[in-house]
Amino acid sequence: MQAAAGSARGVLGAVASLLEAARSGRSEAPWSRGLACGGGRTGGRQGALEQGGGEMAWGAQGVRWAACEQRPATISSDDIPDGWGQTVCVTGAGGYIASWLVKALLMNGYNVRGSVRDPEDKKKNGHLKGLEGAEERLTLYKADVMDFESLRSAFDGCRGVFHVASPDKIKVAVEGTKNVMNAAADVGVRRVVFTSSIGAVHMNPYRSPDAVLDEGCWSDLQYCARTKNWYCYGKTLAEIMAMDVAKKRGLDLLVVVPPPTVGPMLQASMATSNFRVLAYITGKKKTYPNEVMSLVDVRDIAQAQLLVYENPKASGRYFCIQSVIHKDEFAAMLAHMFPEYTINAK
């Protein structure tokens, strides 16, 4: 099982890397032409930084130095990032996206509280303790989105909250979001970053197929219920709940909207979106509809969450989409990358 998990991580890391190469024009594979119109993962991030101002640039700069091990020889007081010493909480900290967010926050000087169901569960949360800066600035809190008082305890003393926890059950997702928002308001949290999903955006049969999706688009709840797409139904309701409570309680709410996510994993368990990629490679995926799909690198989502939090002018929803590719091209890409597998999905 460990060998299989390691192989899966390698596959998913390679998929993310090749998507980045294709988008930046470095790949000559035939399927790469449809992706070569945008910047790569780092390039896209830099574009956001150039538009966002100095205080945002600091956050990514810290990450970039750590990755390249090219820190400046001296640091002045002007170089200290906005996050240094600031306390924030991340819900569902042991999850796929949340783990990378915790890592980014720690690398940018934040004191991080991670809310998890069981802080002593090493299988689910042990990887967090090994992150750089975790020993000094990471504290795991036992909290559940359905336990209001546990959320208040975790949030008390925090300047910001990143609500990343994503329960599967609709009632838990919606009521849990309500609890997170109200608990944050009760203890004086200034800003909440809510991680939504493209599932709250694109499920609407009444929208023209030629329409360009933007932050003003929403999934149609009746259509989601009629087609039993409960994932999109729950995601839409949860985001609406977050906005309603934020308006009533005077919270500064920011929403990051990612599509299916690919990239390396910090946690031991496999993320749902990565299972979808592996289904092509393992042969479980036999057919797919004639449509495009959107993808994003998990590290970009974490960086987007950090950037919107640190920009005082940020407001509303933000799409975080790296690549849009037809599923034909995606299957061809995987076949090119992994010739040792028989990828015959059509």
* CA end-to-end distance (rounded Å), the chain: 29
Hey, what are 157's tokens? 């003393």
178 part of the active site: no
CA nearest to 58, candidates 134, 94, 109, 120: 109
Which residue type occupies 240?
A: I
Hey, what are 48's tokens? 């956001």
Give the Cα separation of 134 and 142 in Å (integer): 17
Hey, what are 243's tokens? 């906005």
Q: Which of 235, 248, 286, 313 is catalytic?
A: 235
Which residue type occupies 318?
A: Y
DSSP state letter for 260: S
Helix axes of 2-23 and 272-282: crossing angle, nearest 10 degrees:
90
Give the Cα separation of 22 and 333 in Å (integer): 10
The CA–CA distances, whole Å, from 90 to 55, 87, 94, 292, 310 equal 21, 10, 9, 32, 15
Hey, what are 259's tokens? 């599509």
Give the Cα separation of 200 and 218 in Å (integer): 6
Q: What is the torsion angle, in degrees rounded to the nearest 10, for the CA atoms of residue 255, residue 260, residue 261 and residue 262? A: -160
Residues in the chain: 346
How are strands ordered across the β-sheet holding 191-195?
138-142, 111-116, 87-91, 160-163, 191-195, 252-257, 316-319
β-bridge pairing 252-257 and 316-319: parallel
- The catalytic residues are 235
